[in-house]
Amino acid sequence: MRDATLAATAVRERALLNQAGMDASRRRARPFARARSAQGFSLIELLVVIAMIGILAAIGIGVTGNMVTTSKGQSGASQVSAALRRAREMAISRRRNVRITFQGTNQVVLDQINVIPAPPLPPPPAFTPIETITLEGRIQYNAFAVPDTPERFGNAVPVQIGGAAGSPMFTSEGMFTDSEGDPAIATITLGIPGQVSTANAITILGATATIRQYRWDGRIWVE
């Protein structure tokens, strides 16, 4: 019995000694932690953090820059598509043909083609100006060294319009035609010259005047 009591006492004493040792270790570690906190980061640690921040910033700037230039091309194509749709709607609602002129490198001009009355009434001007749209953000009509759109209407030149020479038009019936009134097809390619990532295209199918907008994603045209 006495031996058991002595053994139990020895176990308790060892436990107390172990606890005391752990407490002493903690107390010794605290000053080091406080010293580390007061001392701050080392020069090497600061340089590593600064380098990581620089790398992340460079990646972010590159991605953002590409997104901005790509969105510029899409914005210009949307301007042209919207102008073409407005022209068709006006031709139908006014019962007058609307001429489309792709003027210069970055303008779309819409004119109403007036009906010439029979004599003796004086003839009106041949055209009534409707709207002139100027593309923004350095976007221009531009042919890029990329494949043709899925419609295969041609893209050898920035403004590719089939049919007779002259400005095309939307008729009062809603068709897209050449200057002679025959259904025509067209591809308008635009973007920032020298930046293929901004390449966009608009296609028009004559009989139905279906307007589609595409952007070049680096491999294919995406609608």
Q: Which of 223, 205, 204, 221 is nearest to 213 (CA)?
A: 223
The single-letter code of the amino acid at 40 is: G
Q: 56 in a domain, yes or no?
A: no
Is 0.85 surpassed by the pTM of this model? no
Residue 117 shares a structural domain with residue 15: no
Per-residue pLDDT tens for 154-166?
999 999 999 888 8
Q: What is the residue range of 123's domain?
A: 72-222
Top-confidence residue, 132 or 22: 132
> Is the predicted pLDDT of residue 17 greater than 80, yes or no?
no
Percent of the chain with pLDDT over 90: 60
Q: Give 59: exposed, middle or buried? Use CB within 10 Å, 0-12, 13-18, 19+.
A: exposed
β-bridge partners, 211: 204
Domain count of the chain?
2
Q: What pLDDT is stored for residue 87 in this prediction?
A: 97
User: ∠41-45-51 over CA atoms, to 5°?
Assistant: 135
Asked if the structure places residue 198 within a domain, the reply is yes
Measured CA to CA, the distance from residue 6 to residue 64 in angstroms comes to 76
Question: Is residue 117, in this structure, part of any structural domain at all?
Answer: yes
Instruction: Tell me the pLDDT band of 32, cut-offs 50, 70 and 90.
Output: very low
Would residue 196 count as lying in a domain?
Answer: yes
